[in-house]
Amino acid sequence: MHSVGQQQVFSNRAIVIGCACALLPISFFLALSFGTVSISFSDTLWSLLNSVIVSEPASGTGLISRTDLIVQQIRLPRALLAAVVGALLGICGATTQGLFRNPLADPSLIGVTAGASAGAALTIFFAGSLTSLSGLPGLGLVSIGAFVGGSIAVILVYSLATNTQGTSVATMLLAGIAITALAGSLTNILEFFGDEQILRRISLWRMGGLDGASYQRVAIAAIFGSIILVILPRFSTALNALLLGESEARHLGLSVQSIKIKLVLLVAAGVGISVALAGTIAFIGLIIPHMIRLLIGPDHRYLLPISALGGAILLLLSDTIARTIVSPIELPVGLVTAILGAPFFISLLRRRHEFGMR
């Protein structure tokens, strides 16, 4: 008894999944090809193939050509990092919105993003004089700082909002606002006392940027990112039931309290990693899941993976624009995602009644 409407949903899903799968390699290729130095598509493709088939160098001299250097050493790691970070932001946003039963919730609302960047800023401030932060130990230190800061923020928000009765979503959101304000003012104080170089580093971090991309960062992102991207979709059914309400989900046989703790920690880890590796990038975790939900509905079995794909596509395209629009100057990608995202989001809000959202 499948009606026309149901087939409509299935074909909608198929179209959206197909588009996302096609757009990801296209946007990835655009990110490699465009930049301050424009490289033709055929050269980009050739260089990419070269990097895969390393056994046979293109020229007999053993020297790496300029094109190969740009594509393989600068743009490829950056594009890979953008894809993973975008995917993490997309899937973490979708998870947070399900967890809070609010289609407008976002990891930054529960204080994870602010906590992570405060942790990063603290590390830059205190460790900046000890080690040079450009090296791998420095980068690792800042990453750990961001990760710890994000986790502390979540644990703090969570312990404020949770008691034996369960977690109050409203209290958690309010606590998140308080933590965001606290972490923000902490970062501001550090900026006030920091010297010019520290100031610049901290503010670049806060605006977001992928310019520090390297294969080391890509490796960290790939390992931890793929763990989170694999684990989160396992909670799809639980998130579907949670949308009904917490006691309803419990009556459907789910151990709601433990599921919520796991989801909160996974989101903290995902956002912490992305902040550590690429700084604060706004709007992706808010817009992508919202947009996908309007297209295919709130079923998390589809929403989570497609949000990951959509986040990767949006961040790749945004970063390409950030690198090229006022070339040779690079804009922080967070500015571009906000400028791209905000009008789109507003137009979705205006049309929300067509999709049954209030």
From candidates 75, 78, 293, 323, binder to another protein by CB under 8 A: 293
Choose the stretch contacting another protein; rule: CB under 8 A; options: 211-219, 238-246, 319-327, 342-350.
238-246
Could you say which residues in the range 126-165 bind another protein, by CB under 8 A? 164-165
> Regarding beta strands 162-163 and 166-167, do their DSSP bridges make them parallel or antiparallel, or are they unpaired?
antiparallel
Copy the structure tokens of residue 190: 């550090």
Nearer to another protein, 188 or 255 (CB): 255
Nearest distance in Å: CB 298, another protein: 4
- Cβ atoms of residues 111 and 171 within 8 Å: no
From candidates 233, 298, 311, 341, binder to another protein by CB under 8 A: 298
- Cβ atoms of residues 321 and 336 within 8 Å: yes
C-alpha separations of 293 from 3, 93, 284 in Å: 21, 12, 14
Closest CA to 232 of 301, 278, 290: 301
Residues 187 and 245: their CA atoms lie apart, in Å, by 36
Total residues in contact with another protein, by rule CB under 8 A: 33
Choose the stretch contacting another protein; rule: CB under 8 A; options: 82-90, 173-181, 246-254, 311-319.
246-254
Nearest distance in Å: CB 243, another protein: 5
Residues 165 and 168: their CA atoms lie apart, in Å, by 9
Site map for another protein, 101-130, x if CB under 8 A? x-x---------------------------
Site map for another protein, 6-25, x if CB under 8 A? x-xx----------------
From candidates 251, 325, 326, 347, binder to another protein by CB under 8 A: 251
C-alpha separations of 39 from 18, 23, 119, 318 in Å: 28, 20, 38, 18
Could you say which residues in the range 319-358 bind another protein, by CB under 8 A? 355-358
∠ Cα 84 172 209 (to 5°) = 30
Beta-bridge partner residues of 166: 163
Rounded to 5 degrees, what are φ and ψ at 165? -75, -15
From candidates 297, 330, 335, 342, binder to another protein by CB under 8 A: 297
Nearer to another protein, 93 or 115 (CB): 93
Matching residue, tokens 């793929």: 226
Closest CA to 211 of 302, 281, 307: 281
Nearest distance in Å: CB 153, another protein: 26
Residues 338 and 342: their CA atoms lie apart, in Å, by 6
Nearest distance in Å: CB 179, another protein: 25
Nearer to another protein, 15 or 244 (CB): 244
Nearest distance in Å: CB 67, another protein: 48
User: Could you list the residues that contact another protein (CB under 8 A)?
Assistant: 1, 3-6, 8-9, 101, 103, 164-165, 237, 240-241, 243-245, 247-248, 250-255, 293, 297-299, 355-358
